[in-house]
Structure formats: structure tokens, C-alpha cells
């Protein structure tokens, strides 16, 4: 772990770069906006901690009504529990007995649920839970259109749920029904249709469960691109949104019904960088490259500096193309909006929370690198 790039009380100008900056005012508006969206509905908020990797931020989400968090990995769940999060859904399959022992042990300290899409997983979950005298709630992951993990909807869901119910140390708890491939479809009609299709597949699965005499009170899914459809669905009971908190450049390319980008959430996450070279008039090179943000969802956007565009990145450099009137000098700072917030956060050891130009919080990214 590297040393923090700032100290509380510093101004933006004194932060060592590159640094991962949170605009606290903007993030808090995003927090409240999503809390408001579920208020008065039957749908609960369980934000995904794979995005922010920070129990400090998870606790802020819970203070605004979140029931707990989702995690993708056991090590991520461990970091959340150590940071005071009492209720976790591992929204993923876990394979490997050493990991399952860790998960069962963790369930003695906090509420921990897990997903399955195969009877072989169920057998191993049961063995691990039983060895700790624990009872693990298990959700069946349904493939509602993303075609990654998950059993087919309908009868296969009921069969796996029965398998879970029969297994010592386990209890069938609900459905994991995340339609990941819908989140970044640019047109609102495409997103709506994808979630309508997911809802139909969940209904089909619920009918099969009912025939098998199994109740299902927990249905979780949704992302920042589609959450309004899941709230309105009548079937989803929880949202596992993540990116709403920070909003990255890629999500900001989603269009709304008016044909313009959806503007519910503000960019609140930035990579602060310094201009280290001005070799020719139309080029500035900054000290932040592929080790400060990731590029698989597009290059970062330059915040609040019209005429400057990031056009090329390498491991430690970002190349900005400058229009004729951009007064960017050696040593100047720029704020970059990352293309994809989840893997960008995972590069950094620290969040630097800034309000009105002054550092207010330094939060460790406790689950950074928690891949196991």
C-alpha cells in the first residue's frame, strides 16, 4: 500500500498527483438522489461495494437507508465486515473450499448470503456451512439475458432451489437476477426492453418455484443504467446499483427518452493529474496513465477545460490534445473523469475527499485488490 497523496486540510493544489479525488458535495447529492428514488417503494437499496471497495462509503450509504451491500468476492466481503458493514450479499458464485471456509467463518460475524447456479456449488457450500454450524442463505442466480452465469429461468430455478433447501446448513433465500448487459445500452428503449424481458423471466421462475412450494421474498438486481425499471417492476425487492455514487464517463453516454444524456447523477470521481510536459503548442502530457485509470471503456474526459481532450494513454502518461486557446502550462492540474469507475478505483489505495477545494477526508480503499 502506498502512502496517502494528501493530508486533511490541504488544498487541491497541494495534493500529490495522480490522486483519486471524490467531490464530496457531488457524491452526497448522488447518495441522496438514489435514496429518494426508492423512498416510499417496496424496494430496498443494497449498493454494490465492488464499485467503491470502501466500508467508509458503505456506511455512508447505510446512513441513507441502504440495508447493506453486495460484494463479488469473499475477500471483499471480509473487508466490508472488518469495516463495520453487518449485512452482505455475495452476488456471485464462490468456488474453492478454502474460500468457502472463509465465507462460513465470516457468517458468524455478519449476515452473509451467497449465490449458486450449479448443484456442485451447493454441495460444497453445504459442507463449509455445516462445518461451522452456520446456516447460509443461498440465492439462485438466474440468467435473465446477460448470458454470463446463471441457470435458465423457469423450472431449472425451482430445481436448484429445491437442491439448496435439501442441503444441510443452507436455506433457499431468493433470486439473483442482474441484467448486466442492459446497463450500457445507449437507447432508453433498448434498456427498457431488456429489463421487461428479465421481468418476464423472473415471473416464469416464480411460477415454477410456487409449484414446488417454495416461497421467494428476495429478488435482487438492477444497475445504474436501468434501476427505475426494476423499481417499477413489481418483482424486484432490492437494487444492487453501484456506479450512481460516482458516475463515470461511460455511464454518462446513456441517453434518456429526450435523446439527450441521462443527467440524474453527477460526476463525483476524478483522477487529479499534473501537466509534466508541454512539448508542442497543441499537446500537453499529464502524469496519469493506465495505472491511474483504466481505458477499456474509453479514454478519460477532461473535466471543466473546454478545448482539451485526452487522445492517447500509455502506462504512466496521458496525452491531451489542446485547442488554440487552452492555457495549460507545465505544472497545471487537470481533473480527469474516468471511463469506467470500478476498475479505476481498484488501482488506487486512497480516496481523497474534497469539499470546496479543501481535503476533508482520506479513506483507505480497503478492498482494493480483493480479488479472491
Binding residues for a copy of itself (CB under 8 A): 1-3, 5, 14, 16-19, 50, 72-73, 75, 92-96, 98-99, 117-118, 120-121, 143, 147-151, 180, 274-279, 283, 285, 287-288, 290-292, 294-296, 312, 314-317, 319, 330-331, 340, 342-343, 346-349, 368-372
Report in angstroms how near the CB of residue 291 gets to a copy of itself at its nearest. Answer: 5
Residue 77 makes CB contacts below 8 A (sequence gap 6+) with: 71, 88, 90, 103, 106, 112
C-alpha cell at position 275: 501537466
Where do the DSSP E strands lie in 132-253? 136-141, 170-176, 219-221, 238-239
Between 195 and 285, whose beta carbon lies closer to a copy of itself?
285
Distances (CA, A) of 205 to 141, 148, 195: 11, 18, 15
**Which of 216, 187, 237 lies closest to 46, judged by CA?**
237
Residues 287/18, Cβ–Cβ less than 8 Å: yes
Report in angstroms how near the CB of residue 39 gets to a copy of itself at its nearest. Answer: 29
Report in angstroms how near the CB of residue 331 gets to a copy of itself at its nearest. Answer: 5
Report in angstroms how near the CB of residue 44 gets to a copy of itself at its nearest. Answer: 23
Distances (CA, A) of 238 to 65, 149, 175, 227: 12, 19, 10, 10
Between 4 and 38, whose beta carbon lies closer to a copy of itself?
4
C-alpha cell at position 117: 447456479
**Which of 293, 304, 230, 232 lies closest to 266, judged by CA?**
304
Q: Is 317 exposed, middle or buried (0-12, 13-18, 19+ CB in 10 A)?
A: middle
Between 120 and 189, whose beta carbon lies closer to a copy of itself?
120
Report in angstroms how near the CB of residue 257 gets to a copy of itself at its nearest. Answer: 27
Report in angstroms how near the CB of residue 308 gets to a copy of itself at its nearest. Answer: 16
Burial 233-242, CB ≥16 within 10 A → b, else e: bebbbbbbbb
Between 25 and 282, whose beta carbon lies closer to a copy of itself?
282
Report in angstroms how near the CB of residue 260 gets to a copy of itself at its nearest. Answer: 27
Between 75 and 162, whose beta carbon lies closer to a copy of itself?
75
Between 60 and 367, whose beta carbon lies closer to a copy of itself?
367
Residues 31/60, Cβ–Cβ less than 8 Å: yes
Between 164 and 295, whose beta carbon lies closer to a copy of itself?
295
Residue 300 makes CB contacts below 8 A (sequence gap 6+) with: 249, 271, 293, 310, 313, 318, 336, 337, 338, 339
Report in angstroms how near the CB of residue 290 gets to a copy of itself at its nearest. Answer: 5
Task: Give SS3 for 293.
Answer: coil
The strand pair at 87-90 and 69-71 is best described as parallel
Between 258 and 315, whose beta carbon lies closer to a copy of itself?
315
Amino acid at each position: 500500500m502506498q502512502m496517502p497523496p494528501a493530508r486533511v486540510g490541504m488544498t487541491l493544489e497541494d495534493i500529490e498527483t495522480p490522486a483519486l479525488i471524490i467531490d464530496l458535495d457531488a457524491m452526497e447529492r448522488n447518495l441522496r438522489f438514489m435514496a429518494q428514488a426508492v423512498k416510499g417503494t417496496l424496494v430496498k437499496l443494497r449498493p454494490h461495494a465492488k464499485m467503491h471497495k470502501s466500508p467508509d462509503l458503505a456506511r455512508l450509504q447505510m446512513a441513507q437507508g441502504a440495508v447493506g451491500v453486495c460484494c463479488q468476492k469473499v475477500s471483499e466481503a471480509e473487508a466490508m465486515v472488518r469495516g463495520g458493514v453487518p449485512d452482505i450479499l455475495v452476488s456471485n458464485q464462490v468456488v474453492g473450499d478454502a474460500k468457502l471456509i472463509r465465507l462460513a467463518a465470516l457468517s458468524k460475524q455478519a449476515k452473509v448470503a451467497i449465490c449458486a447456479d450449479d448443484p456442485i456449488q451447493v454441495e460444497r457450500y453445504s459442507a463449509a456451512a455445516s462445518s461451522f454450524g452456520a446456516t447460509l442463505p443461498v440465492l439462485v442466480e438466474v440468467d435473465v439475458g446477460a448470458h454470463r452465469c446463471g441457470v435458465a429461468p423457469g423450472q431449472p430455478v425451482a430445481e436448484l432451489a429445491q437442491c439448496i433447501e435439501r442441503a444441510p446448513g443452507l436455506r433457499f433465500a431468493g433470486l439473483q437476477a442482474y441484467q448486466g448487459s442492459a446497463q450500457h445500452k445507449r437507447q432508453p428503449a433498448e434498456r427498457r426492453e431488456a429489463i421487461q424481458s428479465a421481468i418476464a423471466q423472473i415471473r416464469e421462475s416464480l411460477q415454477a418455484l410456487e409449484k414446488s412450494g417454495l416461497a421467494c421474498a428476495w429478488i435482487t438486481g438492477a444497475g445504474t443504467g436501468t434501476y427505475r425499471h426494476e423499481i417499477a417492476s413489481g418483482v424486484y425487492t432490492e437494487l444492487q446499483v453501484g456506479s450512481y455514487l460516482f458516475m463515470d464517463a461511460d455511464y454518462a453516454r446513456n441517453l434518456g427518452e429526450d435523446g439527450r444524456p441521462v443527467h440524474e447523477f453527477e460526476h463525483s470521481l476524478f483522477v487529479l493529474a499534473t501537466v509534466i510536459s508541454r512539448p508542442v503548442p497543441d499537446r500537453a502530457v499529464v502524469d496519469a496513465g493506465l495505472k491511474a485509470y483504466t481505458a477499456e471503456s474509453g479514454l478519460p474526459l477532461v473535466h471543466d477545460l473546454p478545448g482539451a481532450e485526452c487522445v492517447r494513454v500509455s502506462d504512466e502518461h496521458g496525452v491531451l490534445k489542446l485547442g488554440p486557446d487552452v492555457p495549460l502550462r507545465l505544472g497545471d492540474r487537470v481533473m480527469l473523469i474516468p471511463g469506467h469507475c470500478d476498475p479505476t478505483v481498484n488501482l488506487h489505495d486512497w480516496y481523497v475527499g474534497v469539499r470546496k477545494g479543501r481535503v476533508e477526508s482520506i479513506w483507505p480503499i480497503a478492498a482494493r485488490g480483493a480479488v479472491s
